[in-house]
Amino acid sequence: MSEPSSGSFPPVEGAPAPAPVSSRRPDAGPPGEYVDDSVPSAPTEIRWQRNLALFAATVVTVFMAGAQYTGGSLLSGWTFAVPLLLILLFHEFGHWIAARIHRVDASLPFFIPLPYLSPFGTMGAVIAMRGRIRSRNALLDIGAAGPLAGMVVAVPVMIIGLYLSAVKPVSPGFYIQEGQGLLYLALKRLVVGPIPAGHDVFLHPTAMAGWAGFLVTMINMLPWGQLDGGHIAYALFGPRQNHFAKFVRYALIPLFLFNLAKFLIPIYSGASQMPLGLAISNSSFWIVWFFVTFAIGRFSGREHPPTDDNSLSPGRRWLAAGTLLMFVLLFMPTPWAVYTD
């Protein structure tokens, strides 16, 4: 739960701007990966000037977002900005290092600064990849390396942030309720202990950074298309994943309807005075992603690109299953809600 000291923030929505290539996979916040089958897979010279400039701009915008949470100067936002940037860097370089190991030509991450419109000050990053990932082993390694590396940072950040957070009564007024996944709930119970009725954890900016890491990893782990989760699921299930992915995408509609009922029924029963527009906004996360995935599918193709080598080593099968389980542990039925009582 959060009480912003200055203004309110909308849920993270949208997708990175298209790149002039043939197909695309969004990644953390949401980052992405672009694939062009016309270019051979072989590492080329690393160009870093534009990447560094975008990262520097993203540092500023993430510090701006952190200052909103602390209510202080730009530099006071470091308790949010530094841990979030570390999570995103580990995520992106997890993909990049795995790609280089498998000799898949990958650029350095292109970070996307997004002041004011994003509650985190960024839309994450994208990685350009020239050449199709040709084996399921490589596909699994590259797809899983980002989320796993990011969570190596996000979990301790969340634990430290929860230690710094306060448990307070939930009083009437304006507040933001962050999404509650199984892993997040378990860490709250482990660190904070039982929370009395009518109370909640009001997140320290560092805990908010950890939660943001959980959110963007959850989005990326959706087992659809060329998201991280789609790569991992295709590595595990092969072409059958293209069939499973259709059910995953259409499952976003019942999630939207669940949230719509959750917020509208109390209004029409007289139990809530929430404005109708706010109730619809609170319900909109998954329907927005339904249309985002439609747009991604139109741009990059509705089916996952095939691999030439369809074998997956036994150890990687366990890794794939465990990484997909991480999506279940991170899943938030209602990722973001604003309340006015």
- 3-class secondary structure per residue, 127-190: EEEECCCCEHHHHHHHHHHHHHHHHHHHHHHHHHHHHHCEEEECCCCEEEEECCCHHHHHHHHH
* Percent of the residues in the chain that have a pLDDT greater than 70, as a whole number: 86
User: Stretch 35-46: mean pLDDT, rounded?
Assistant: 48
User: Stretch 63-79: mean pLDDT, rounded?
Assistant: 91
Can you name the residues that pair with 126 across neighbouring β-strands? 32, 110
Q: What is the dihedral of CA 16, 152, 78, 182, to 10 degrees?
A: 80
Q: With 80 as the cut, is the pLDDT of residue 126 above it? A: yes
Cα separation of 208 and 179, whole Å?
Answer: 11
Residue 29 confidence (pLDDT): 40
Residue tagged 């089916």 (tokens): 303
Cα separation of 200 and 202, whole Å?
Answer: 6
Closest CA to 330 of 194, 215, 227, 228: 215
Residue 254 confidence (pLDDT): 97
Q: What is the pTM of this model?
A: 0.84
Q: With 70 as the cut, is the pLDDT of residue 288 above it? A: yes
Residue 172 confidence (pLDDT): 74
* Percent of the residues in the chain that have a pLDDT greater than 90, as a whole number: 60
User: Stretch 59-79: mean pLDDT, rounded?
Assistant: 92
Cα separation of 175 and 8, whole Å?
Answer: 9
Out of 64-73, 85-94, 234-243, 290-299, give the one with best mean pLDDT.
85-94
Residue tagged 């794939």 (tokens): 320
Residue 18 confidence (pLDDT): 33
Helix (H, G, I), strand (E, B) or coil at 291: helix
